[in-house]
């Protein structure tokens, strides 16, 4: 089964909210946990218990696990496996982007079913050229997995690159060119292609997404300021293919697992069609 089909089925059963697992040092402290591998493991386990049985997609932020070295990576491996065992799709937020054999190695690390870090999808950066992502896109396709390529991010620094014009003969923005390249990979897929894009929910993106035929990860919902009205205005009333992402806005309700579940349910209830 393709990732696009798996994602569509999961959203139909569990809703479209993508739950982030961001063990930020400030959250560890707020939860009364030490800033070490033990605290990390406790944080991650409570998130798994709170979200993995109900969310369609869970998104661990790899950097916060990597910060603890090999012990943190071991926690990340267990977190991925536990979420998948509970039925959630795991979108690993790693934002990798490289060329040739290095890109192929990143792909094997996160998308090869034999890897202990294998997720259901990963985030990728296309700013060495969209074509440089081919090894990851092809390996994802072989294993029924997906990728989400950065197109228009919500950070203010991103505009300098993403809003630049491709060339004097091509009036598109770089971000639109990324969307168009993803659309080419998704052409003819049903119900969705395997190549998604990342478009921040906190600002008007100005992109034509009508031909994408793939999922859109929309970070910034909740604590970063994007509201349900913002999502509707920027992505359409039915949010077709859109995965709003919430992390710290819900995680601040921890460490109690029931409180985390309740906070997640309140957010889900605000989304159109949920």
Mean pLDDT for each 10-residue chunk of the chain (274 residues)?
Answer: 97 96 97 98 98 97 98 98 98 98 98 97 97 98 98 91 93 97 98 97 88 95 75 83 93 97 92 73
Q: E strands within the chain?
A: 18-21, 57-60, 89-96, 121-124, 146-152, 165-167, 170-173, 195-199, 216-218, 242-246
pLDDT of residue 274: 64
C-alpha separations of 202 from 149, 196, 222, 230 in Å: 18, 18, 9, 7
pLDDT of residue 238: 76
pLDDT of residue 205: 86
C-alpha separations of 186 from 2, 127, 135, 215 in Å: 11, 20, 16, 10
Q: Which CATH class is domain 3-270?
A: alpha beta
Rounded distance between C-alpha atoms, residue 179 and residue 59, angstroms:
22
Rounded distance between C-alpha atoms, residue 65 and residue 218, angstroms:
22
Rounded distance between C-alpha atoms, residue 106 and residue 128, angstroms:
14
pLDDT of residue 270: 86
Q: What is the DSSP string of 169-215?
A: TEEEEHHHHHHHHHHHHHTT-SS--SEEEEE-SSS------TT--S-
| Known active-site residue 95 | yes
State the burial class of residue 131 (Cβ atoms within 10 Å of its Cβ: 0-12, 13-18, 19+): exposed
Catalytic residue (choose from 13, 59, 95, 145)? 95
**Full-model pTM:** 0.96
């Amino acid at each position: 089964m393709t990732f696009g089909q798996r994602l569509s089925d999961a959203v139909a059963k569990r809703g479209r909210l993508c739950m982030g697992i961001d063990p930020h040092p400030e959250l560890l402290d707020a939860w009364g946990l030490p800033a070490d591998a033990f605290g990390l493991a406790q944080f991650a386990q409570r998130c798994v218990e709170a979200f993995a049985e109900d969310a369609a997609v869970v998104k661990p932020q790899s950097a916060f696990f990597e910060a603890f070295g090999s012990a943190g990576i071991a926690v990340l491996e267990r977190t991925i496996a536990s979420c998948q065992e509970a039925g959630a799709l795991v979108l690993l937020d790693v934002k990798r982007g490289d060329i040739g054999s290095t890109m192929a190695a990143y792909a094997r690390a996160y998308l090869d079913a034999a890897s202990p870090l294998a997720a259901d999808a990963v985030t990728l950066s296309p700013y060495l050229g969209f074509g440089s992502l081919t090894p990851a896109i092809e390996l994802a396709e072989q294993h029924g997995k997906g990728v989400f390529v950065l197109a228009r991010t919500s950070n203010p620094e991103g505009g300098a690159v993403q809003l630049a014009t491709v060339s004097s003969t091509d009036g598109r923005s770089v971000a639109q060119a990324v969307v168009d390249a993803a659309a080419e990979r998704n052409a003819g897929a049903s119900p969705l292609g395997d190549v998604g894009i990342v478009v921040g929910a906190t600002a008007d993106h100005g992109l034509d997404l009508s031909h994408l035929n793939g999922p859109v990860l929309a970070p910034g919902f909740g604590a970063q300021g994007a509201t349900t009205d913002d999502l509707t205005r920027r992505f359409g009333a039915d949010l077709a293919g859109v995965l709003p992402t919430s992390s710290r806005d819900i995680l601040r309700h921890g460490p109690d697992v029931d409180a985390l579940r309740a906070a997640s349910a309140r957010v889900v209830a605000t989304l159109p069609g949920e």
